[in-house]
Amino acid sequence: MKARVSIIAAALALSARANANAAELPDWLTGEWQQERGSRWTEEVWTLPRGGVMIGIGRSGSGESLKSWEVMRIVRGADGSLALHAAPEGGAATVFPLVEQGVRDISFANPAHDYPQRIRYWREGRLLMAETARMDGSDAQSWTYSPAGE
């Protein structure tokens, strides 16, 4: 009985922590970010949180050629939860609800989506890290962004 009470208390504490963090838009994501690997490049720009939303745009290419682009939003819902809305190439947005949030780390997931199913951003010092993958971590793609202009 004591073990079951401890498990329930731990689950409630984790739930309370997730709910407390859920309302916090990741202001540490704000800025203009770039990654260059030879002639290939990727850029993301994120606005400051305002009105319960952050707006992001991304594009990638090689040399002077654009390969892909995307419009993204991190939105706080009426219940306080966060979700990432990603619309590649101007198509319909796919919603990825928040699954985990730390001080400088945020993860979203949508197991029903083909790819990606998980999207994670985190900071390592001045760098912005990003990763997309399937729910089991397979087919991972990662980016290491520096502040633009450096």
Distance CA 91, CA 15 (A): 34
Tokens of 20: 């407390």
Contacts of 77 (CB under 8 A, 6+ apart): 83
Residue 13 scores a pLDDT above 50: no
- When pLDDT is averaged across residues 5-22 and rounded to a whole number, the result is 42
- When pLDDT is averaged across residues 121-145 and rounded to a whole number, the result is 98
- 8 Å CB contact between 58 and 67: no
- 8 Å CB contact between 24 and 46: no
pLDDT at residue number 149: 85
β-bridge partners, 74: 54, 84
Q: Running DSSP on this structure, what letter comes out for residue 4? A: H
| Structural domains for the chain | 2-147 (2.40.128)
H or E element in which residue 11 lies: helix 2-22
Residue 16 scores a pLDDT above 60: no
- 8 Å CB contact between 58 and 43: yes
Distance CA 109, CA 143 (A): 18
pLDDT at residue number 23: 53
